Structure 1
C-alpha cells in the first residue's frame, strides 16, 4: 500500500499562498497518489475603457482668489467633458485641495507667498478612439493636469471564463505529464479551487499631460492588448 502527495505550483504571479494552506483535505486512499497542480490560464483582449484624472491647479496671492479662479476654470473643464459626450455617471470628483505656498530663507521663518488651489475629477472614457480629442478639448478649456490613463475591459466576465477553461486544461496537461513520468495515469479530478483572477486592468504611472507643439496635432490613445487571467488549483487522483 502506498500514498504520497505531490504539489506543483505553476502560477506566474509572485506571492501566491502556499498550496498546502488552500488545498481541501483528501482522505487517504489505498494504493493511490494525489497530485495538486496550480495553473494559470490567460486570454488576450483589447481594452475598451480608459479612466484618467483631469483637473486644474491655480495659484493666487489669497486663498479666496485661488479658489475662485480654480472654480471658474474647472467649470469650463466640466462643460468641455459634457460637450464631448461624457455621461454624468462617468465624471466623479477625485480630489479638492487648497494649500499655502511658502518662501524659505536662511535664518528666517517661512513666509506665505500665496495659495494653490486644485480640483480633479476622475473621467471614464468608454470610446478609447475619442479619448485623444477629448483630452485636447480639456486642455483648451483650462485643464493643466491630467494623470493616467488606466485601460480596462468593460465586462470582462466572458474573457475570465475563457481563462478559467484554459487554466483547467493547463492543469490537466501538467498532471498527465507527471503521471506519465511516474508510470501512472490520471484517474479523475478530486477537486478544483479558484485562487485568483486578473480582470485585465492596466494601471499606468501618473504623467503630466502635454499638448503637441503643432496646433493641428491631435493626441492619440493606443489601447494595445491586455491579458485576462485566472488561477486554479486542481487535485488529481493518480493510479
Structure 2
C-alpha cells in the first residue's frame, strides 16, 4: 500500500513538473514570437578625392629591337611628363609589358608581320583637378592608349559611420510605424545584421573622343561627380 502511495506521489510530481515546464516554454515561446523585423538603408553621397589612370605606349616595327627601343624612349618621355605635372615616382607603377608578333594566314601559310610592343602603367592622382592636365601631357609625350579612369575615396570611414546611423534611424522609424499600426510599441533590439558592400572605385572608360581632345589644344574635361556609400541593416525589435 505504501509503495502504491509513494509511486502515485512520484507520478504526480512528474506531471506537475511537466505541466510547469510546458507552461514556461509556451510563455517563453510566445514572448520570442512578439517581434517585428525591419530593414533600413542609409546612403551618404561623397566626392571622390583621388583618381587612377591606366595608360599605355604601343609601338610597332618590323624589327624587334627597333620596336622595343622606340617604346622605351616614348615611355620614358611619358613618365617624365607625368612627373612634370607634380606627381612622384611612387605614383607610377607598371601594370603590364607585352611583346608579340603580328601574323596572318594566306593559303594555309603563316605570314609574319610587325612586332608590337606594349607598356602599360597605372598613375595615381591625389588631386583630381590635375587629371585632365595629366592626360593631355601624357598624350603629347607619346601615350597612345588609355584603358580606364577610376575615381576613388581615400578614406570612407566617416561616410560609412554616417550611413550606419541613417540606416538605423530608418529601421527604427519603420518599426515604430508597423508596431503602432498593429496596436503595440517597440521595445529593445533583439538582433542587428548589417549588409555593407565595401566601396569600389567607379571606373570609366576613356574613349577615342577623350584621346582626340587630349591631342587638341583644349584641356581634356574630367568631372569626378559624386559616389554613394550605402549601408543596409536588418533589425529585429521586441514588441510591447
Q: TM-score range by the shorter chain?
A: 0.7 to 0.9
Structure 1 residue aligned with 2:174 = 174
Structure 1 residue aligned with 2:130 = 130
Q: For residues 66 and 184 of structure 1, what CA distance do their matches in structure 2 show?
A: 78
Distance 1:213 1:145, change over 3 A: closer
Q: For residues 148 and 211 of structure 1, what CA distance do their matches in structure 2 show?
A: 15
SS of the aligned residue for 1:183 comes to coil
**What is the TM-score when the length of structure 1 is the normalising length?**
0.81
Alpha-carbon deviations, 1:110-133, whole Å to 9, x = none?
211111110111111111111111
Give 1:214 deviation, angstroms.
8.0
Give 1:86 deviation, angstroms.
1.3
Query: Is the Cα–Cα contact under 8 Å of residues 57 and 117 in structure 1 kept in the other structure?
Result: yes
Structure 1 residue aligned with 2:84 = 83
Q: For residues 31 and 210 of structure 1, what CA distance do their matches in structure 2 show?
A: 63
Distance 1:218 1:194, change over 3 A: same
Structure 2 residue aligned with 1:225 = 226
Give 1:183 deviation, angstroms.
2.0
Structure 2 residue aligned with 1:210 = 211
Structure 2 residue aligned with 1:113 = 113
Give 1:238 deviation, angstroms.
1.6
Give 1:37 deviation, angstroms.
2.4
Query: Is the Cα–Cα contact under 8 Å of residues 198 and 229 in structure 1 kept in the other structure?
Result: no
Structure 1 residue aligned with 2:195 = 195
Give the number of equivalent residue pairs: 214
Structure 2 residue aligned with 1:10 = none
Unaligned runs of 5+ in 1: 2-26
1 or 2, which has the higher helix percentage?
Answer: 2
Distance 1:108 1:200, change over 3 A: closer
Distance 1:206 1:238, change over 3 A: farther
Q: For residues 146 and 216 of structure 2, what CA distance do their matches in structure 1 show?
A: 19
Q: Which has the larger radius of gyration?
A: 2
Distance 1:193 1:88, change over 3 A: farther
Distance 1:138 1:100, change over 3 A: same
Query: Is the Cα–Cα contact under 8 Å of residues 90 and 123 in structure 1 kept in the other structure?
Result: yes
**What is the TM-score when the length of structure 2 is the normalising length?**
0.81
Structure 2 residue aligned with 1:38 = 39
